[in-house]
Amino acid sequence: MENRCALCRYKSDATKKLTEEEEELLSCNHLMVSFKKGESVIKQGHLSSNIAYLRKGLAKLHIKGPYYEQTIKIVKAPRYLGLPTTFSDKINQYSVTVIEDSEVCFIDMATFQELLGNNKKFANEIIVDLCRYELDSYRKCANRTQKQMKGNIADVLLDFADNLYGSDTFRLPVSRDELASLIDTSRESVSRVLAEFNNDGIIRMNGRDIEILNKKLLKLISENG
């Protein structure tokens, strides 16, 4: 039975804390859905009544700013999606879109609340998650605004290599445009800086394929740029 959480290979840390019965409860009250690249999981402004858990794949969080849609961050499975927006409001306060083919479990809100209330360890994992996200958001915001472009682009490349792919060779999961919206700059500037990094031998670039050649220097740029 594919749907049995007990057998799932992609359990969240929180779910690992559940008892057998609790896990069974979860099994009966969730629904797994496949998403194709580009499809929307959570839409800002829409009602939400389920908790979304990205069990496999890659997604971006994005929010409507006063002038344009801003990418908040790119996240990979396993991870809950939109907890803050689902908990604190009936209406989604930001959007989540899958940027590669992915799988999402939708968990009934009442069930999730029940688990939260009955299992301290489960609740604690969720709370710690929320805290981490908030801290991360503060840090990221301070970085973005204080560093200039080169530093921010270096940051993103390092983040992709170290956290998203675990490899210094990877294919960018987003267009230059989306990259720009992630670091608050323009498409043209992203192009220029990437070209510069390429010319300087810091990266080798072919379209969206990136290979980091000089990580030391990239880190230096990230810190001092």
Shortest approach of DNA to residue 141 CB, angstroms?
A: 15
Q: State which of residues 184, 214, 217, 220 lies at the interface with DNA (CB under 7 A).
A: 184
Instruction: Name which of 127 and 195 has its Cβ closer to a second copy.
Output: 127
Tokens representing residue 158 in the block: 């390092």
Shortest approach of DNA to residue 7 CB, angstroms?
A: 34
Tokens representing residue 50 in the block: 């389920």
**Chain residues in the site for a second copy (CB under 8 A):** 61, 63-68, 70, 72, 83-85, 87-89, 93-94, 113, 116-117, 120, 123-124, 126-128, 130-135, 137-147, 151, 184, 223
Report the alpha-carbon distance of residue 9 to residue 112 in Å, rounded: 20
- When asked if residue 50 is in the footprint of DNA (CB under 7 A), the reply is no
Q: Which stretch binds DNA (CB under 7 A): 76-84, 127-135, 157-165, 184-192?
A: 184-192
Q: Note the residue count of the chain.
A: 225
Contact partners, residue 85, CB within 8 Å, separation at least 6: 42, 48, 92, 93, 94
User: What are the phi and psi torsion angles at 106 (to 5°)?
Assistant: -100, 125
- When asked if residue 149 is in the footprint of DNA (CB under 7 A), the reply is yes
157: closest CA among 169, 145, 140? 169
Shortest approach of DNA to residue 225 CB, angstroms?
A: 8
